[in-house]
Amino acid sequence: MAAQASVHAVTLLLEATCKLLWGFRPRLFAPAVAQLGAWHALAWFCRNMPRYQHTLATFGPVRTHLLCVAISLVNGCQYCTYGHSHALELAYLREHDRLFPLDELDFQRLCGLPPAAVRHDLVGAAQQAGLHWDVRHLERTLTLAGGPDPRPTDEDDLRLVHLVRMFGVLNSVGVRNKVAPDQAHSPLNRDHLLTRRYGALRATAG
């Protein structure tokens, strides 16, 4: 009974925290807390979320969400792929005033394909989008996601290693529990003008 109460309390705490950030309660947290255990899950999120937020501030939302999508695609996680591809779409529209070459359905089709196919399409889309400075990080992230590399080369590389490890855990929860996608994993999800504009542009493009 006490263990169940702890799982419930930690789940509510994590969901409430993310609702303040993103405007909704992510579906992943309940199975994550159940799978990891209440206090292990809380400690894990306390260790990893500040580092993730620092990477987000350092790399910016477009690059960070692009990398999160890449890792999630390689790991075959539909849940994180959708959450971060939608976040990428919103961030790219806000920063570049146009749509990213791939939409969420394109990303979903890539999910679970061989890493070489993911690399080809994702790098090609990033180059088409004009994200030339981000391609180096994208290529390196895909390499790290495909196998261990114990020798990070610089601070940026350490951030990439952390993203790969962090999303390895999140993706495993999403895949194991077949968590259905929800919304954009970004504060931009709360920008209703931006989300409505994005929806209208996608509808026109479609």
The pLDDT tens digits of the residues spanning 108-136 come to 999 989 999 999 999 999 999 999 999 99
Evaluate whether 55 touches 64 at the Cβ level (below 8 Å).
Answer: yes
4-54 pLDDT per residue, tens: 878 889 999 999 999 999 999 999 999 999 999 999 999 999 999 999 999
Q: pTM to 2 decimals? A: 0.95
Cα separations in angstroms, 116 against 110, 123, 177: 11, 11, 26
- Residue 163 contacts residue 55 (beta carbons within 8 Å): yes
pLDDT of residue 149: 62
Domain spanning 60-205, CATH architecture: Up-down Bundle (1.20)
- HSE, CB side, 13 Å, CA atoms: give it for residue 52: 17
Gap between the Cα atoms of 179 and 205, Å rounded: 29
Measured between alpha carbons, how far is 156 from 159 in angstroms, rounded to an integer?
5
Burial of 106 per CB tally in 10 Å (0-12, 13-18, 19+): middle
What mean pLDDT is predicted for residues 164-184?
A: 96
pLDDT band at 148 (very low <50, low <70, confident <90, very high): low
* pLDDT score recorded for residue 189: 97
Domain borders along the chain are 60-205
> 1 pLDDT exceeds 60?
no
pLDDT band at 159 (very low <50, low <70, confident <90, very high): very high
Q: Please tell me the predicted confidence (pLDDT) of residue 121.
A: 96
